[in-house]
Amino acid sequence: MGYLTTHVLDTSQGLPGKGIRIEVYRLEGETRTLIKEVVTNSDGRCDEPIMEGDAFTVGQYELVFHAGDYFRAQGSDMSEPAFLDVIPLRFGVADASQHYHVPLLATPYSYSTYRGS
C-alpha cells in the first residue's frame, strides 16, 4: 500500500521546520481540490502519512507550504513582502502502491525538493 509523506528542514538554521501549515491539493486539469491541511511536528514531519490507502491514487498533487509564517515566527531576517512566503510543490504519482516522500529544504530566500524515500 502506497502513501505520501513530507519533511521540512530549515536549512538557514539547520533545524526541522516545526509548526508549518501545509495544504494538500489534488489537481485535475485546471481544477485544484483541497484534500486536507496538516501541520508539521517538532521534527518537521507530519504525525502520520498525509495520504494512504484508497485515498492515495495515481494523479497530480500539490503541497502548499506556508513557510513565510514559520520564518517570521523564527525572527528570520526577511523582506516584506517576503521573497518566499507560500511555496507550492506540484508532483505526479505514477504508482500509488509506492511511498512518495516529498521533502522541502527551505530558507527565506531559497528552497529545494526531491523525491525521497
**What pLDDT, in 10s, does the model give residues 59-83?**
999 999 999 999 999 999 888 999 9
Spatial distance between the Cα atoms of 40 and 28, rounded to a whole number of angstroms: 26
User: pLDDT at position 40, please?
Assistant: 98
Torsion 97-10-60-115 (CA) sign: negative
pTM more than 0.85: yes
What does the pLDDT average to over 80-100? 97
- pLDDT digits 0-9 by tens, 15-53: 999 999 999 999 999 999 999 999 999 999 999 999 999
Domains in the chain: ranges and CATH: 3-113 (2.60.40.180)
What does the pLDDT average to over 72-100? 95
Cell of 8: 521540512
Which of 66, 84, 62 is closest to 20 using CA atoms? Answer: 66
Chain centroid to CA 80: 22
CA angle 109, 71, 23 (to 5 degrees): 95
On the question of pLDDT at 1 being above 90, the answer is no
